[in-house]
Amino acid sequence: MTRSVLITGCSSGIGHSAAHYLQQQGFHVIASARHEEDVVRLREEGLPAVRLDLADDTSIEQGLEQALSLTGGTLYGLFNNGAYGQPGALEDLPTAALREQFNTNLFGTHHLTRLVLPLMLKAGEGRIIQNSSVLGLVAMQYRGAYNATKFALEGYTDTLRLELAGTHVHVSLLEPGPIETRFRANAKAAFLRHIQVDQSRHRTGYEQTLARLEKPGPSSRYSLGPEACLPPLLHALTSSTPRIRYPVTQPTKMLGWLRRLLSNRALDRLMLKAGG
């Protein structure tokens, strides 16, 4: 039996690569994106696709309904990948911008997960993979909104895993570090939409942030392509004993280790040196 998997955030990056890869691995993939033009493009690429905007409950419900119409009403896997980053110092961040970040990165994921879980529990099996981040493990200045959503997603997922114990619905966290996607371009757009650079005491730091977001090429010497996330994703979907966490890229593995080894003050000093 071909197992079906719904993936959010497939317009580019990890979600786009994952959709094509899992289809090649024999899964019945339903890709989703929040813009209709991306849905059309995904279909042209040979992927069954639906429109699903994680910031809109109605769109989530309609997108899942359309996905289930393509799978015969069942769903084995859910890869909660869709998210974006909102840069800016917390003191400069409008509350509405923080709500937007949580709506997409956490609340939308929760709404979709709640709708999918009854199907998996009824079937007696299922896999939920949450795309977290190294910034769900450690904090960095000017990433407070994104940090908050990913720290929340980590705690949310740990709790969900405990509550699903014994159900044969497995929950895993994918924790990428620097991955080359459209993330920086989307983050820059969010930054310019909500942050008043000229009125902030962080103006110099913001200039460095913008330079980082506009820099062509890899964001870090440790950066990897989206394909680095694919083997862990496949393992989470197919292993009889999927891991709880899958760190991806050297920075995630190193910082996960240093978080346990260093004092809070020492970790603060390290992350301040890492830059804005």
Which positions are catalytic?
A: 146
Gap between the Cα atoms of 229 and 108, Å rounded: 22
Torsion of CA 21, 150, 61, 32, to 10 degrees: -20
Which of 172, 162, 154, 176 is CA-nearest to residue 227? Answer: 176
Gap between the Cα atoms of 73 and 168, Å rounded: 19
Q: How many CB atoms lie within 10 A of CB 173?
A: 25
Cβ neighbours of residue 229 under 8 Å, at least 6 residues apart? 14, 17, 18, 131, 174, 176, 179, 248
Q: Would you say how long the chain is, in residues?
A: 276
